[in-house]
Structure 1
Amino acid sequence: MSPNSTMAPGLLETTTEVTQVATKDLKNTLKPTGNTLNYVPGRTTVKKHDETYKYEDLRPRFPDITWPALTPVEYHDKGLLGDANFKNLLSSATDVFDYNPKVGTEIHGVDLANLTDLQKNDLARLIATRGVVFFRDQKNFGVDEQRALGKYFGELHSHATTAMPRREGLEDVHVVFTGENSPDLRALFTPTFLWHSDVSFIPIDSCTKKCC
């Protein structure tokens, strides 16, 4: 691993013996009798968008731009300011539960677009504790509100090799988009390969033994 790379945790794949099936017969093999929805595991049909697609300004683009050389960024962990019992964040929650003992929590009733600083600190601490936190049914939480929330925790990262939105001023937004003409790459890569992070681009002299 290079000193300026970070790796995200991945799933461990187990080896299982399977009977070889011709590609043309795979769909019929996996599809149970009476499956009128034509469901095949891992092969969800990509939804096509017409000319009224309301997020046209967020479709991907690859502009020819350059940024100044990176410099060390001062960072302050907001989670250190959070309450140990997350009392501020959960004060308006209507439900909260863990997916399993080690990782994953879902919270209902919390409006991410209108968090106080105390609630944001609790959120940082909860994410550090649980790894990932889900908030469903968010209202008025578009890309601008998401960027504003992210900026509270630190400087936003501009990815150097992937797409950004068509709208100007969103160069620090990473676009993940599957459209009408996007190839289906799921058959070419394993799930553990598709879900990863290995681009940090931090200056080597700012990396300590603790993070490497």
Structure 2
Amino acid sequence: MPIETPKAATNGEKPRIRRAADEEEGDPAKYPHYLPVWDYSQKYPPLEPFTHHDPGKNADPSLKDLLPPGVATVKKLTPTIGTEITGVQLSSLSNAGKDQLALFAAQRKVLVFRDQDFADLPIEKAVEFGGYFGRHHIHPTTGSPEGYQEFNLVHQQRSSNGEFETFIAGKNSTVLWHSDVTYEEQPPGMTILFALELPEVGGDTAFANQVEAYRRLSPALKERLHGLKGVHSGVEQAEASARGGGIVRRAPVVTEHPIVRTHPVTGEKALFVNALTTRIAGLKKEESDALLGFLVNHIGRGLEYQVRVRWEPKTVVIWDNRVTAHTAIVDWTTTERRHLARLTPQAERPFETPYVPEE
């Protein structure tokens, strides 16, 4: 999940505020008000628990307000995950349409909306839209538009091969299957990512359906996984930000979540492990490494339950972070800018329901 961090100050001291706009090279950004800012004075207390009500529970299953007949064009991208939609303007949805959006995202896992005006909305309107689906998560380490910490910005301007080498850091690939900030007590649910500026080709995002990944396991392994908990850590992310001259707004946390979680709207069970899961609680290291390694590899190699989304201008991608994993694909070697903005509403604390044989 490559995210630009600010350069370290040349005199060894961090300024109070760093702005990507001050370090611009080449063509100016198309959306300068979305360029990342790092404010070193931002220090936030730990997140407090809150009660989350998923809007998908209110939704009319006909989806008529989200996908009006004769207006919306709907195309499945794969049988198991991903649907592309045209003819619908997200910014114009009624509350009933937003409820149905949450339900449809839970059902299809990833929704790709083309020809959207989202990037051109007043920034506070985008924040208001995201807030309908839960409390906004403020990321502890990434840059955000000045005055709008609700956004997590992906901004890569100098994406030459040299930067590619930085991202892979001695590995063969940049692929890193993860779900966003699962170290939080209440990780995100419906997540909104929209394009601001893109390379001509490359920089796609791949998604994996963790419900289908769970379904494909043997009954014996499914049963064994129930009751186990994964340890999700934000420590490594905070340490990497600090080393790179970035910010740490909030003390990092380490949280245990069920390895198999249940979706509150669909009732589906999903694997809930990813790159932020460091170990399995209660197991010895060798046991944890073996089982966790198998599960992560199982998710990553399952092309039958993955989709690769190609970004286009005016695209908004919405996914359910509870039942998916994703990875950026850093494959372009030009100096074109890749600039996206994410809103990450938090949801309920992950829970599991009992294992039922032959579900």
TM-score range, shorter chain: 0.5 to 0.7
Instruction: Give the Å deviation of 1:164.
Output: 1.5
Pick the aligned partner of 1:66 from 32, 43, 46.
43
Confirm whether residue 144 of structure 1 aligns to residue 124 of structure 2.
Answer: yes
Confirm whether residue 197 of structure 1 aligns to residue 175 of structure 2.
Answer: no
Q: Read off the aligned partner of 2:352 and give its amino acid letter.
A: K
Match of 1:153 in 2: 133
Give the distance between the partners of 1:207 and 1:194, measured in 2 at CA. Answer: 21
Instruction: Give the Å deviation of 1:83.
Output: 1.5
Match of 2:105 in 1: 127
Confirm whether residue 112 of structure 1 aligns to residue 122 of structure 2.
Answer: no
Match of 1:96 in 2: 74
Change (3 A) 1:103 1:69: same
Confirm whether residue 77 of structure 1 aligns to residue 54 of structure 2.
Answer: yes
Change (3 A) 1:71 1:106: same
Instruction: Give the Å deviation of 1:88.
Output: 1.3
Tell me the TM-score normalized by structure 1.
0.65
Pick the aligned partner of 1:179 from 157, 171, 174.
157
Kindly indicate which of the two structures has a greater share of residues assigned to strand.
Answer: 2
Q: Read off the aligned partner of 1:172 and give its amino acid letter.
A: E
Instruction: Give the Å deviation of 1:207.
Output: 4.6
Give the distance between the partners of 1:120 and 1:49, measured in 2 at CA. Answer: 39
Give the distance between the partners of 1:148 and 1:129, measured in 2 at CA. Answer: 24
Give the distance between the partners of 2:56 and 2:107, measured in 1 at CA. Answer: 9
Q: Which SS does the other structure have where 2:102 is aligned?
A: helix
Change (3 A) 1:208 1:89: closer
Structure 1 runs not aligned, ≥5 long: 1-47
Give the distance between the partners of 2:51 and 2:128, measured in 1 at CA. Answer: 18
Change (3 A) 1:107 1:66: same
Structure 2 runs not aligned, ≥5 long: 1-24, 187-254, 257-347, 354-359
Match of 2:33 in 1: 57
Instruction: Give the Å deviation of 1:117.
Output: 0.3
- Which has the higher Rg, Structure 1 or Structure 2? 1
- 2:57 and 2:99 in contact (8 A); partners too: yes
Change (3 A) 1:76 1:196: closer
% same residue:
28
Tell me the TM-score normalized by structure 2.
0.40
Q: Which SS does the other structure have where 1:75 is aligned?
A: coil
Aligned residues: 161
Instruction: Return 194-203 or 92-101, whichever deviates more.
Output: 194-203
Pick the aligned partner of 1:86 from 42, 48, 63.
63
- 2:118 and 2:126 in contact (8 A); partners too: no
Note the alpha carbon deviations across 1:127-163, whole angstroms, 9 max, x for none. 0000010110112543433322110011110000222
Q: Read off the aligned partner of 1:80 and give its amino acid letter.
A: K
Q: Which SS does the other structure have where 2:100 is aligned?
A: helix
